[in-house]
């Protein structure tokens, strides 16, 4: 059973928290979030924040902290086939208290339907913190062009 091997990115100045479901195979290999070259997360965030596209892991961490964004995933470990959210079962969730107790998080966002669904099922009963669902930046979300994703994220993210 794969275990989440990527530490959350946040600091005491983080204001928003973006949660994915569980890292893809590529992200687990690279030891950082949204590592698949087809995932549009970094392109979308760079456009929304009107900043340069971060390339390296260090640039991505600096980008997130500069924009007061925390990133993690709802799931700590699960049974999953490849990177398919639809195959997720046997869920063990991450404890978000390390972020929520040390940063003044004003808004929590789900990157896609699966993280939203899992948060509501497992995490909301503990945190009692609302979450806003954003369309997934995954390449599997082919119904959304990059432009449409940027517009939806821009319309919903408070920064």
Active site residues: 39
Q: Give the angle 34-74-121 at the CA atoms, nearest 5°.
A: 140
Phi, psi (deg, nearest 5) at residue 78: -170, 170
For residue 93, the surrounding DSSP H or E stretch is strand 89-93
Residues 6+ apart with CB under 8 A from 96: 17, 72, 123, 127
Name 108's bridge partners.
Answer: 17
Judging by beta carbons within 10 Å of its beta carbon (0-12, 13-18, 19+), is residue 38 exposed, middle or buried? exposed
């Amino acid at each position: 059973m794969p275990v989440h091997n990527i530490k959350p990115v946040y600091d005491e100045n983080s204001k928003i928290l973006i949660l994915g479901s569980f890292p893809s195979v590529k992200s687990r290999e690279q030891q950082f979030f949204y590592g698949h070259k087809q995932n549009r997360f970094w392109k979308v965030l760079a456009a929304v924040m009107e900043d340069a596209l971060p390339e390296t892991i260090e640039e991505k961490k600096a980008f997130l902290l500069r924009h007061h964004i925390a990133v993690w995933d709802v799931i700590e470990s699960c049974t999953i086939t490849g990177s398919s959210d639809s195959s997720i079962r046997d869920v063990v969730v991450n404890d978000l208290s390390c972020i929520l107790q040390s940063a003044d998080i004003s808004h929590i966002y789900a990157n896609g339907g699966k993280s939203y669904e899992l948060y509501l099922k497992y995490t909301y009963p503990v945190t009692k913190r609302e979450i806003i669902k954003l369309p997934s930046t995954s390449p599997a979300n082919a119904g959304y062009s990059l432009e449409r994703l940027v517009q939806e994220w821009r319309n919903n993210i408070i920064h």
